[in-house]
């Protein structure tokens, strides 16, 4: 065992400076499964302790009273005394007594298989570097997760109270392992502090073990975690926003906490302080409405990913929530960049941080990034309901590797990337912007050693005996679920009712002990339509009324938190584990049940919609919507032979012990550097950072903007003459060109007449037609012919070739310009058009291309021939030379300190190449934005990308301030960028 210490305690048990003594007792308290374990994704609980004024209707109040063993379940008997220092729900193995680590109740080692698997899979850092010499791995891993392993309370004397954060034990155990000496990595976690509790006066007590708060019945609660919990959605949320004036934390106290977390021996952590820019300064930080940073993720993403669609709204609230979500991800990126060194591996976890991979890629294009989603991922038909679907997908695609809990989730993601973004994909990954993004399935596990250590303590064994004695002669079905819409508690009760109806011989011989804990998801707590709690209570009353008696109730429902011993006793005492979730990620309760049944061999009945179902193939799988089918499986489990139960348990136990939290994180990390080592080192073009672009634009005094037309300002259409600019394009270009600091040019392959017809009325814009053959400066009516002295005799020969292929390909046609000829086949049958285009291109290259100084260019559904030295790149060079005059004393003198160039096809690469060549020697490279447009897999010379013309138009509108000029709300994406630059959501946009 290493020398890692629990927070708030030094290596020799002394209090850390600035950390109150309460830290040690609070951090060591047993955590309940409702907060210390999670069925699915790591999700922080509410910021404050739950305190309520009413016992759930229909539930026996004795469940909350200190009466020893209550009917149906033996609650804690420690009489309000703090539990022992060891806890499965703590964040590291340091809490496991040495005498019990890896031992069962008989004193024999139970985790040798787990240890062997883990140790056998280890490689030294030298071996990893030798196998991947091109990666230059630093040996550092940075894990980004939404909430820190601890929850924090800030006290008015400047001290901090730390408690192990519930709801993410599997992930936290993996972090602890990755940070330990058992791996070759230096590991650091970057995480939000979570909602910090308001300052409280230091607690003064004459007793070393103060009594717990009284319950609603006037008697002491058995322990703080067993307090009554509300199940009516209308009751107040436990994570209500802080008062308007917020929580002020001085800089010295921030640094005290940061130092404590950075020096944590088990999981070194760097906290992210989330606030508006104006709320933080050199003296400290004011934390206001802390819950806002989770709202978009929990209201929009969590619900959608669990196939629950929100009611339509006017979108005003969602605009602000998206801006906060975007800014929160940006602040995570800032914090990671502060820590990052070349060669570090960054692993991003879960749906709270789905934009972070792309934001990191924007800052450091060559960074090694992986993303793991702990929740389900929906089908494309469902994801399309999300307004910000493109941004979410593009955010994740900043990764090199993306991991999911099950194959179906990865398949849904790949389908979404193809159907929504247009990226080609296969079962192993996606091709995007010149790079390959790998996708894999990595089911998470639990810390088996901890479960076995704490599930076979003498106190747990006593509770198991008490349960067995209380229900002697009866079979016990156990369930522990959060009370929300995706856990299927109502379906479970309905199925149990159906079981009692179909199999009357089991009446009064089977008891269902169902424990429910309150949901921690904002959307579930605040949804007035959430009738789950009421429905559950009604079903409990109905079943007990119909099939119970004065001496026995077939359903024992406990809406409360269980302490650690109670939870493990329940899992060990059960004859059947019943999980009926209608949608979840990785249900760790099922894994813990298997470990706890290594002696009892109780069958596991598992919903096929659980993320664990794919891994636990030997469990009894059920469809929770098929009540009769579930009832039949319950009967099968009850009547299963001992031999079959033992065989099932042996197989499941073998899987759980060999696929634990340690092997999960080890395999995922190994896959990351394997993917990086196998790649061709191509770096994906990152998504345009609109916030960065806007910041650089605002700071510049002389700006040059160059735009392609087709496929950039307007979508590609079948008929070229139909590519007419929208009113928003016209207004955006007008406002952009009206700024005296700006020079705006349209550089297109279109001819003069087309550009004059559709955009010529904007006199402040310059034009370049036919790929640079003609130019017209802003404010001028004269077109300059740059190729009038060229021999154009090649056109006749090219025309003959084009006519021949036009005859062969129905739907194709020829466009004749003054300096170029183009053969279009976008109206032709796609496969024939592409095949003939390749043949036509080859014919021209081998004929005209060898005799004349012309360039044969394949475009988007076209082939074009033009003079070699006429291209958009030459125009870009000419414009920079014309406008960039830092030493001149002319009225318009000065350096071009902001350059923006956007285009979508092969011809625009010439502009990107020219600007790249000028960057550094002439232009500041950090102020040059070259942007390619479209879902193309080509390797581009541009530094940034956008998905489609609509994104280009919105980016231009952001720079020009179109919405502000027209007194209209800014789009969600632009509001996010604007809020990032200004450090807060503008008050004018909170409408």
Positions of CATH 3.30.70.1020 in the chain? 793-866
Asked whether the CA dihedral 250, 254, 255, 257 is positive or negative, the reply is positive
Distance CA 626, CA 59 (A): 27
**Whole-number pLDDT of residue 987:** 79
Task: Summarize pLDDT for 331-368 with one digit per residue, the tens.
Answer: 999 999 999 999 999 999 999 999 999 999 999 999 99
pTM above 0.85, yes or no: no
Q: How far is the C-alpha of 879 from the C-alpha of 772, rounded, in Å? A: 11
Nearest to 702 by CA among 538, 555, 896, 832: 896
The rounded radius of gyration (Å) of the Cα atoms in the chain is 32
Tell whether the model's pLDDT for residue 570 goes beyond 50: yes
Give 511-555 as a DSSP string. Answer: EEEEEEEE---HHHHT-TT--HHHHHHHHHHHHHHHH-BTTB-SE
Q: Is the pLDDT of residue 119 over 60?
A: no
Which of 15-29, 48-62, 863-877, 899-913 bottoms out in mean pLDDT, i.e. has the lowest?
A: 48-62
Reported as type and span, the H/E element at residue 450 is helix 448-455
Nearest CA among 6, 121, 295 for reference residue 664? 121
Mean pLDDT computed over 435-440: 92
To which H or E segment does residue 191 belong?
A: strand 186-192
- Pairwise CA distance, residues 662 & 668, whole Å: 10
Q: Quick one: pLDDT at residue 867?
A: 83
Tell me what pLDDT residue 957 has.
Answer: 95
Weakest-pLDDT range from 55-64, 163-172, 560-569: 55-64
* Chain region(s) in the chain for CATH 3.40.50.2000: 140-145+168-193+291-441, 449-657
Q: Is 872 exposed, middle or buried (0-12, 13-18, 19+ CB in 10 A)?
A: buried
Task: Tell me the C-alpha distance between 715 and 712, whole Å.
Answer: 7
**Residue 966: band (very low, low, confident or very high) from pLDDT cuts 50, 70, 90:** confident
Better-predicted residue by pLDDT, 678 or 208: 678
Three-state DSSP class for residue 865: strand
Measured CA distances, 790 to 87, 242, 786, 866 (Å): 84, 73, 9, 11
Q: pLDDT-based confidence at 199, cuts 50/70/90? A: low
Whether residue 787 has pLDDT greater than 60? yes
Residue 47 pLDDT grade (very low, low, confident, very high; cuts 50, 70, 90):
very low
pLDDT at 524: 56
State residue 740's pLDDT score: 94
**pLDDT above 70: residue 153:** yes
More confident: 977 or 208: 977
pLDDT greater at residue 739 or residue 110: 739
- Mean pLDDT within 444-462: 92
CA 878 remoteness from chain centre: 44
User: How many CB atoms are closer than 10 A to CB 472?
Assistant: 7
CA–CA distances in Å: residue 969 to residues 303, 952, 986: 26, 18, 11
- Judge whether residue 938 has pLDDT over 80: no
Region 411-420: mean pLDDT is 94
% of the chain at pLDDT higher than 90: 55
Give residue 242's pLDDT: 42
> What is the reported pLDDT for 42?
35
Instruction: Tell me what the mean pLDDT of segment 698-704 comes to.
Output: 95
**Residue 791 vs residue 606, higher pLDDT:** 606
Query: 597-631: per-residue pLDDT in tens?
Result: 999 999 999 999 887 888 888 999 999 999 999 99
Q: Which CATH class is domain 140-145+168-193+291-441?
A: alpha beta
Percentage of the chain beyond pLDDT 70 is 80
Question: Which burial class, exposed, middle or buried, applies to 725 when counting CB atoms under 10 A from its CB (0-12, 13-18, 19+)?
Answer: middle
> Phi/psi zone of residue 603: left (φ > 0), alpha (ψ -120 to 50 degrees), beta?
beta
Regarding predicted confidence, which is higher, 333 or 891?
A: 333
Identify which of 724, 709, 718 has the alpha carbon closest to the alpha carbon of residue 825.
718
**Least confident among 99-113, 237-251, 641-655, 888-902:** 99-113
Judge whether residue 211 has pLDDT over 50: no
User: Is the distance from CB of 874 to CB of 915 less than 8 angstroms?
Assistant: no
- pLDDT at position 48: 32
Task: Using pLDDT thresholds of 50, 70 and 90, give the confidence band for residue 265.
Answer: confident
Whether the predicted pLDDT of 568 surpasses 60: yes
Helix, coil or strand: residue 945: strand
Q: pLDDT tens, 848-882? A: 888 888 889 888 889 999 887 778 998 999 999 99
Architecture of domain 793-866: 2-Layer Sandwich (3.30)
690-786+870-982 topology per CATH: Rossmann fold (3.40.50)
What average pLDDT does this structure show over 36-53? 34
Q: Which 8-state DSSP code applies to residue 351?
A: G
Q: 42-56, 109-123, 550-564, 661-675: which has the minimum mean pLDDT?
A: 42-56
Domain at 449-657: CATH architecture: 3-Layer(aba) Sandwich (3.40)
Domain with CATH 3.40.50.1000 in the chain: 690-786+870-982
DSSP code of residue 504: G
Residue 226 pLDDT exceeds 50: no
- Token pair listed for 337: 């960049």
Residue 78 — φ and ψ, nearest 5°? Answer: -85, 5
- Structure tokens of 114? 């787990």
Of the two residues 215 and 427, the one the predictor is more confident about is: 427
pLDDT at 151 over 60: yes
Choice between 585 and 736, residue whose per-residue pLDDT is larger: 736
Range with the largest mean pLDDT of 740-749, 788-797, 855-864? 740-749
Does the pLDDT value for residue 133 go beyond 50? yes
Within the chain, how many helices (H) and strands (E) appear? 34, 34
User: Which has the closest alpha carbon to 947: 420, 356, 361, 431?
Assistant: 420
Q: What is the pLDDT of residue 68?
A: 34
Residue at token pair 């390797």: 939
Average pLDDT over residues 702-716: 94
Q: How confident is the model at residue 243 (pLDDT cuts 50, 70, 90)?
A: very low
623 vs 56, residue with greater confidence: 623
pLDDT given at position 905: 87
> Using one digit for the tens of pLDDT, what is the confidence trace for 294-315?
999 998 998 888 888 777 777 7
Residue 511: closest CA among 574, 582, 580, 581: 574
pLDDT at 822: 92
Q: How confident is the prediction for the chain on average, in pLDDT?
A: 81
Mean pLDDT of 952-978: 90
pLDDT level of residue 591 (50, 70, 90 thresholds)? very high
For residues 920-931, average pLDDT:
94
Asked whether residue 134 carries a pLDDT value surpassing 80, the answer given is yes
Residue 681, token pair as written in the block: 């080192």
- Per-residue model confidence (pLDDT) at position 520: 66
What confidence category does residue 104 fall into, taking pLDDT thresholds of 50, 70 and 90? Answer: very low
Instruction: Write down the pLDDT at residue 649.
Output: 93
Task: Give the per-residue pLDDT at 519.
Answer: 72
Report residue 200's pLDDT band, with 50, 70 and 90 as the boundaries.
low
Q: What is the mean pLDDT of residues 579-585?
A: 85
Higher pLDDT, 468 or 517: 468
Q: Determine the average pLDDT of the residues in 377-398.
A: 92
**What is the model's pLDDT at position 197?**
81
Decide: 567 and 617 in contact? Cβ < 8 Å: no
* pLDDT interval class at 246 (50, 70, 90): confident
């Amino acid at each position: 065992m290493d020398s890692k210490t629990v927070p708030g305690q030094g290596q020799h048990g002394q209090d850390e400076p600035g950390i109150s003594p309460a830290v040690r007792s609070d951090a060591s308290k047993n955590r309940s499964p409702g907060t210390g374990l999670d069925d699915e994704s790591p999700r922080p609980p509410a910021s404050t302790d739950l305190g309520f004024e009413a016992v759930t209707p229909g539930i026996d109040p004795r469940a909350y009273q200190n009466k020893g063993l209550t009917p149906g379940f033996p609650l804690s008997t420690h009489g309000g005394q703090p539990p022992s220092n060891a806890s499965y729900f703590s964040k590291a193995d340091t809490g496991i007594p040495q005498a019990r680590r890896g031992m069962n109740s008989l004193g024999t080692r139970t985790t040798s298989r787990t240890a062997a698997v883990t140790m056998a899979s280890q490689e030294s850092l030298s071996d990893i570097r030798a196998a991947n010499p091109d990666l230059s791995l630093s040996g550092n891993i940075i894990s980004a997760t939404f909430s820190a392993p601890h929850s924090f309370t800030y006290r008015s004397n400047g001290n901090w109270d730390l408690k192990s954060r519930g709801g993410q034990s599997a992930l936290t155990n993996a972090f602890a392992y990755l940070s330990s000496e058992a791996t070759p990595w230096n590991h650091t976690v970057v995480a939000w502090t979570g909602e910090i509790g308001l300052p409280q006066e230091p607690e003064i007590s004459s007793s070393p073990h103060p009594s717990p708060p009284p319950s609603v019945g006037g008697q002491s609660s058995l322990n703080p975690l067993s307090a009554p919990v509300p199940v009516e959605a209308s009751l107040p949320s436990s994570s209500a926003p802080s008062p308007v004036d917020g929580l002020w934390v001085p800089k010295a106290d921030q640094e005290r906490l940061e130092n404590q977390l950075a020096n944590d021996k088990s999981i070194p952590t760097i906290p992210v302080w989330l606030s508006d820019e104006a709320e933080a300064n050199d003296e400290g930080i004011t934390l206001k409405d802390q819950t806002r940073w989770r709202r978009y993720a929990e209201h929009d993403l969590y619900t959608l990913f669990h196939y629950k669609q929100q009611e339509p709204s006017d979108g005003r609230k969602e605009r602000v929530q998206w801006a906060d979500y975007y800014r929160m991800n940006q602040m995570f990126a800032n914090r990671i960049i502060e820590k990052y060194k070349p060669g570090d591996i960054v692993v991003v976890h879960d749906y709270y941080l789905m934009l972070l991979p792309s934001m990191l890629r924007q800052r450091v294009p060559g960074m090694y990034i992986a993303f793991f989603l702990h929740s389900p991922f929906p089908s494309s038909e469902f994801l399309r309901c999300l307004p910000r679907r493109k941004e979410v997908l593009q955010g994740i695609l900043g990764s090199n590797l993306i991991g999911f809990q099950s194959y179906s989730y990865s398949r849904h993601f790949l389908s979404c990337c193809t159907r929504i973004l247009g990226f080609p994909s296969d079962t192993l990954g996606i091709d995007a912007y010149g790079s390959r993004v790998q996708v894999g399935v990595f089911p998470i596990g639990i810390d088996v050693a901890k479960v076995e250590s704490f599930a076979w303590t003498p106190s747990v064994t006593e509770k198991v005996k008490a349960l067995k004695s209380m229900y002697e002669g009866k079979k016990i079905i156990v369930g522990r679920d959060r009370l929300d819409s995706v856990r299927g508690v109502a379906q479970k009760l309905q199925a149990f009712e159906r079981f009692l109806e179909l199999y009357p011989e089991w009446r009064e011989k089977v008891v269902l002990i169902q424990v429910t804990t309150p949901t921690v998801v904002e959307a579930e707590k605040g949804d007035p339509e959430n009738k789950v709690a009421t429905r559950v209570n009604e079903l409990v009353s109905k079943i007990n009324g119909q099939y119970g008696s004065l001496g026995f109730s077939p359903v024992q429902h406990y809406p409360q938190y269980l302490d650690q011993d109670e939870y493990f006793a329940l899992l060990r005492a059960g004859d059947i584990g019943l999980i009926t979730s209608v949608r979840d990620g990785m249900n760790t309760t099922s894994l813990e049940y298997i470990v706890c049944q290594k002696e009892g061999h109780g069958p596991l009945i598992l919903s096929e919609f659980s993320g664990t179902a794919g891994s636990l193939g030997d469990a009894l799988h059920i469809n929770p919507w098929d009540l009769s089918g579930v009832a039949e499986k319950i009967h099968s489990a009850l009547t299963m032979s001992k031999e079959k139960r033992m065989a099932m348990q042996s197989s499941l136990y073998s899987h759980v012990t060999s696929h634990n939290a340690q092997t999960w994180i080890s395999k995922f990390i190994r896959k990351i550097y394997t993917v990086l080592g196998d790649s061709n080192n191509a770096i994906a073009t990152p998504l345009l950072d609109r916030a960065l672009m806007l910041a650089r634009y605002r700071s510049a005094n002389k700006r040059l903007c160059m735009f392609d037309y087709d496929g950039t300002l307007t979508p590609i259409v079948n008929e070229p003459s139909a590519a007419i600019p929208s009113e928003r394009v016209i207004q955006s270009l007008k406002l952009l060109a009206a700024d005296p600091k700006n020079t705006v040019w349209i550089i297109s392959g279109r001819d003069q007449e087309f550009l004059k017809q559709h955009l010529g009325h904007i006199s402040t814009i310059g034009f370049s037609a036919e790929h640079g053959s003609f130019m017209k400066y802003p404010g001028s009516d004269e077109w300059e012919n740059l190729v009038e002295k060229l021999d154009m005799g090649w056109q006749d020969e090219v025309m003959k070739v084009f006519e021949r292929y036009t005859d062969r390909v129905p739907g194709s046609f020829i466009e004749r310009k003054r300096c170029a000829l183009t053969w279009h086949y976008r109206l032709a049958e796609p496969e024939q058009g592409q095949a003939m285009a390749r043949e036509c291109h080859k014919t021209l290259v081998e004929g005209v291309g060898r005799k004349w100084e012309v360039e044969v260019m394949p475009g988007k559904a076209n082939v074009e021939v033009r003079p070699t030295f006429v291209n958009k790149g030459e125009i870009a060079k000419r414009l920079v030379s014309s406008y960039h005059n830092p030493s001149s004393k002319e009225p318009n003198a000065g350096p071009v300190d902001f350059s923006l160039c956007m285009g979508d096809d092969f011809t625009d690469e010439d502009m990107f190449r020219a600007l790249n060549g000028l960057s550094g020697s002439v232009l500041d490279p950090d102020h040059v934005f070259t942007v390619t447009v479209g879902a193309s897999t080509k390797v581009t010379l541009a530094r940034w990308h956008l998905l489609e013309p609509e994104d280009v138009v919105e980016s231009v509108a952001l720079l020009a301030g179109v919405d502000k000029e027209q007194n209209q709300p800014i789009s969600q994406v632009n509001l996010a960028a604007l809020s990032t630059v200004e450090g807060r959501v503008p008050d004018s946009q909170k409408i």
